[in-house]
Amino acid sequence: MTNTRLNSISVVGGAFGDEGKGKVVDEICHTLINRFDKVIVYRWNGGSNAGHTVEIQNNKFILHQIPSGALIEGTTCILGKGMVIHPGDLISELATIQDNGNIKTNIIIDEMTPLSLDTHRAFESSLKKREEGGSGSTGRGIAPAYADIIYRHPLRMRDLLDKNWKEKFEKHYLLYKSLILGLGDDLRKMQVNSLSLGTLEVGDKTKFIKKISQQRDQIEKYIENVYDLVKDNWNSKIPFVFEGAQGVGLDPRWGVYPDVTASDPTPSGIFASTEGIVNPETIEIKANVYKATYTSSVGKRILPTKMDEKLAARIREDANEYGATTKRPRDIYHIDLPALSYFAKVSMASHIVLTHLDISYPDTPIKVCTHYVNKKGDQIDYRPDQQFLHGAIPIYESFKAWNGNKIKNSTIINDLSPLTKKYIKFLSQSLNLLPLMITTGSKRESVINSNYLLL
Ligand code: IMP
């Protein structure tokens, strides 16, 4: 039997990312720091493709590579080996939170974390012109950076500190120049995304090396061998919050191609990122985050539960359903229990966090897809395969909706009507997950916490 490591929680996107994990992690860290002196926040996957939003008073922070726990004093935020990090974007992000006087955390980057560079972004956009698989990416060079690991030539954080760093980065530049030339493009002239400076030209090797040289000076102090730090703290009672990026539905094994990312958004990614120190089975609470009344996604994937455009447009406007990183409008689906319970299963979830509970209109019942059937009427499972999903027919159950405006920003369970409580209970029972937290708006304090969730 596996022992439970008390005071540990993982927060995973239960669907296709953008569920509101940033705010959830912020709230969990807030609660924990009031009880303990120290909290470790560990991010194990993704890179600047993520967009985790936290709204504090009138400031809106969209964090990409730095964990959301960074906005809370007393946390130590570790950027783990399972991530891929773009140094330029990281510097911009650090500057944004520093400018606002909000850097109250200790940030540490695992020296083993691979780099995702402008070369990867350029290669991704070159590929995008030729293949379907790249068409839905966020343009942040995530997949090529992870592919470098498989191809056995990743550049890692510690390469920035190496005495031969220049040679290594020159070699990398020349490799990508050739790859891109093979695809018919000129790396020097390619335009790539950057977090704060818009689109930039990659430039020649000299320009590339100069940029890296400036970046290494600025982030050197954050790079460490984190193995003992993670191990010692994991073997103590200090709380750990594992912050996931993206969502289970974007996992390359569990998602629908081509709209998948390259990293492991499930807790199993924690095992590899911590080099086996943290067995995810021992994490006390494995929380999956879902939007309470609908599901959103970006890409070509079509679930059987697509909502009619009139209601979808209303939700898109009210819930600002535009990608935090790319600003792309998101597709809106009804709650799709076959898909969501599949994601809960493959990510070993134990608890549920429901966000956006305020998106509910009294004049419009909430349609929940309870199961799929095939053309013959036989019940079928969700499978991560678009061709299969085209043949799935959703069967719905309707729930009476509540007035979302009335509970907007509510913090107390008693504000929820019996109707709302019944709905939450139905979802958590159907997904076989224990309720942990509910959010009722985008502001930091708009949360109903687990202590009150006696439904
Ligand atoms: P990539 O991660 O940039 O390679 O993008 C691959 C797929 O994952 C695309 O469909 C993206 O829109 C999606 N994606 C990547 N990161 C996120 C995220 O943080 N939230 C939502 N979708 C994401």
Which pLDDT score is estimated for 62? 86
Instruction: Return the number of other C-beta atoms located less than 10 Å from residue 198's C-beta.
Output: 8
Which pLDDT score is estimated for 65? 97
Are the CB atoms for 165 and 159 separated by under 8 Å? yes
Is the CB of residue 265 below 6 angstroms from any atom belonging to ligand 1?
Answer: no
Q: Whose CA is nearest to atom 19 of ligand 1?
A: 50
Which listed residue (30, 52, 86, 356) is catalytic?
52
Q: Whose CA is nearest to atom 15 of ligand 1?
A: 49
Tokens 């007035």, located at residue: 403
Is the CB of residue 136 below 6 angstroms from any atom belonging to ligand 1?
Answer: yes
CA-to-CA separations, 62 to 8, 21, 193, 254, in angstroms, rounded: 25, 11, 16, 27
Residue type, 303: L
Is the CB of residue 297 below 6 angstroms from any atom belonging to ligand 1?
Answer: no
Is the CB of residue 45 below 6 angstroms from any atom belonging to ligand 1?
Answer: no
351 catalytically annotated: no
CA of 55 to the centre of ligand 1 (A): 22
Which pLDDT score is estimated for 96? 84
CA of 34 to the centre of ligand 1 (A): 34
Tell me how far apart the alpha carbons of residues 364 and 253 are, in angstroms, rounded to a whole number: 35
Q: Whose CA is nearest to atom 17 of ligand 1?
A: 246
52 catalytically annotated: yes
Give the CA-trace dihedral at 316, 59, 197, 114, to 10 degrees: -90
Q: Give the residue, out of 261, 264, 331, with the most ligand 1 atoms within 8 A of its beta carbon, to mutate for a pocket test.
A: 261
Strand partners, 59: 56
Regions of the chain with pLDDT less than 50: 452, 454-455
Which pLDDT score is estimated for 299? 86
Helix 118-128 / helix 165-182 crossing angle, nearest 10 deg: 10
In the Cβ-directed half-sphere of 199, how many Cα atoms lie within 13 Å?
8
Is the CB of residue 261 below 6 angstroms from any atom belonging to ligand 1?
Answer: yes
Which pLDDT score is estimated for 102? 58
3-class DSSP string for the chain: CCCCEEEEEEEEECCCCCCCHHHHHHHHHHHHHHHCCCEEEEECCECCCCCEEEEECCEEEEECCCCHHHHCCCEEEEECCCECECHHHHHHHHHHHHHCCCCCCEEEEECCCEECCHHHHHHHHHHHCCCCCCCCCCCCCHHHHHHHHHCCCCCEHHHHCCCCHHHHHHHHHHHHHHHHHHCCCCHHHCEEEECCCEEEECCCHHHHHHHHHHHHHHHHHHEECCHHHHHHHHCCCCCEEEECCCCHHHCCCCCCCCCCCCCCCCCHHHHHHCCCCCCHHHEEEEEEEEECCCEEECCCCCCCCECCHHHHHHHHHHCCCECCCCCCECEEECEEHHHHHHHHHHCCCCEEEEECCCCCCCCCCEEEEEEEECCCCCEECCCCCHHHHHCCEEEEEEECCCCHHHHCCCCCHHHCCHHHHHHHHHHHHHHCCEEEEEECCCECCCEECHHHCCC
